[in-house]
Amino acid sequence: MSKFDPCFEQVLADATARNMRRSVRPLAAAAPGRIVSAGRELLNFSGNDYLGLARHPLLTERAADWAQRYGAGAQASRLVTGTLDAHTQVEAKLARLKGTEAALLFASGWQLNASVLPALIRGLGTRGQVEVYTDKLVHASMHHGCQAAGIRQIRFRHNDLAHLDRLLTERAAAGVRRIIVTESVFSMDGDRADVPALAALADRHEVFLYLDEAHATGVLGPHGMGLSGLAPGGVDLIMGTFSKALGGFGAYVAGSQALCDFLVNTCSGFIYSTGLPPSVLGAMDAALDLVPGMDTDRAHLARLSEGLRDGLRAQGRDTGASSTQIVPAMVGDAGDAVALSARLNDAGMLAVAIRPPTVPPGTSRLRIALSAAHTEDDVDRLLDALARDPLRSAA
């Protein structure tokens, strides 16, 4: 008990009153596309294991093998004694698959964005002013990175490249370096950016393009290696994660050799973090071997996603501009979204309610995330449960 607990308890009470209180729930792993909660197996429509690789035997076997071979941890930061042959092996394999000169591993996507952006902003601003143009719906880690750099974001309307083009044209000034920060697939809406058009726009205005591929890596683009593959050489910095479709943990930057060398020397999230452990690297390495050959799984996932969108819309539910494996079922009110999620849980399905501040006020939703491990029958079960639910109004 701390004398400051009443302060914390008041904040929690306020969150409860607004249907915004969050809590962690113990869950146990099950077969891909399933999860165990309170002793019950549920269909899992909230995880990011888009290809069902989290329990793939090749990932778990290589994770165990590399832990046996290299030990449990890297023991130090990468610039001290924490760089193993395993790190450089994974980075070289990733760069080949991404079609870039180099790649660099980080602990997580949040840590990467929050530390790479300040380093990049400072580096590009050494000889002048820097402006950062961000999509209105970019991830919280990107906002944090810009705030850590002490820079004011210039926000453009979500996926509105005409608006971005106009801002870049109107604000053009000599001596100013500019950065576009956006995502290829947006994690709460499931829509995607037009990456070739973005790359062409960035090239025309001579702007640095920073692209978050966390929810596209493994699922979209040539051989599942992200939508940046649709604009070869057109994206200056590509980041992504291993913790979603690639089934494991960790994140990466892919780009030029000079960019990666620059980050090794300037990025606090790399310099001051212990290197990723060998077991994590083993799972990464195995996923990179598997993903390029999973076109059939990606096609199955796309069919499931389209079928879910069609079914939800037939019920009168708004799915926004989703065109990927992430399908929002808009509800609107936070309390209604929580109640709907609870009723689905009772019916044997996990579909977590997403509320502000993760999404804008009035747009609370179920964020339904599909996996290639799901079947058409699984999606039909979800649609049947939603069709029987009394809450059918769209946001």
Residue 3 annotated among the catalytic residues of the structure: no
**Choosing from 244, 279, 285, 371, which is the catalytic residue?**
244
What whole-number distance in Å separates Cα of residue 295 and Cα of residue 393? 36
78-110, pLDDT tens digit by residue? 999 999 999 999 999 999 999 999 999 999 999
Beta-bridge partner residues of 41: 36
pLDDT band at 24 (very low <50, low <70, confident <90, very high): confident
172-188, pLDDT tens digit by residue? 998 899 999 999 999 99
Q: Would you say how long the chain is, in residues?
A: 395
- Residue 393: per-residue pLDDT: 43
pLDDT band at 391 (very low <50, low <70, confident <90, very high): low
Residue 213 annotated among the catalytic residues of the structure: no
- Residue 175: per-residue pLDDT: 86
pLDDT band at 29 (very low <50, low <70, confident <90, very high): confident
pLDDT band at 134 (very low <50, low <70, confident <90, very high): very high
**Choosing from 215, 297, 322, 374, which is the catalytic residue?**
215
What whole-number distance in Å separates Cα of residue 119 and Cα of residue 149? 8
Residue 113 annotated among the catalytic residues of the structure: no
Q: What does the mean pLDDT of the chain come to?
A: 95
- Residue 69: per-residue pLDDT: 96
Residue 143 annotated among the catalytic residues of the structure: no
**Choosing from 187, 228, 305, 322, which is the catalytic residue?**
187
**Choosing from 56, 87, 98, 139, which is the catalytic residue?**
139
**Choosing from 131, 189, 191, 212, which is the catalytic residue?**
212
Residue 87 annotated among the catalytic residues of the structure: no
pLDDT band at 394 (very low <50, low <70, confident <90, very high): very low
pLDDT band at 127 (very low <50, low <70, confident <90, very high): low
263-312, pLDDT tens digit by residue? 999 999 999 999 999 999 999 999 999 999 999 999 999 999 999 999 99
Residue 300 annotated among the catalytic residues of the structure: no
Q: Where are the beta strands (DSSP E) in 68-128?
A: 102-106
Token pair recorded at residue 22: 């969050």
Pairing mode, strands 353-354 and 364-369: antiparallel
Residue 318 annotated among the catalytic residues of the structure: no
pLDDT over 70, % of the chain: 98
pLDDT band at 22 (very low <50, low <70, confident <90, very high): confident
What whole-number distance in Å separates Cα of residue 44 and Cα of residue 255? 34
pLDDT over 90, % of the chain: 90
Token pair recorded at residue 91: 């980075």
- Residue 7: per-residue pLDDT: 94
**Choosing from 49, 91, 135, 183, which is the catalytic residue?**
183
325-360, pLDDT tens digit by residue? 999 999 999 999 999 999 999 999 999 999 999 999
Looking at residue 224, what DSSP letter applies? G
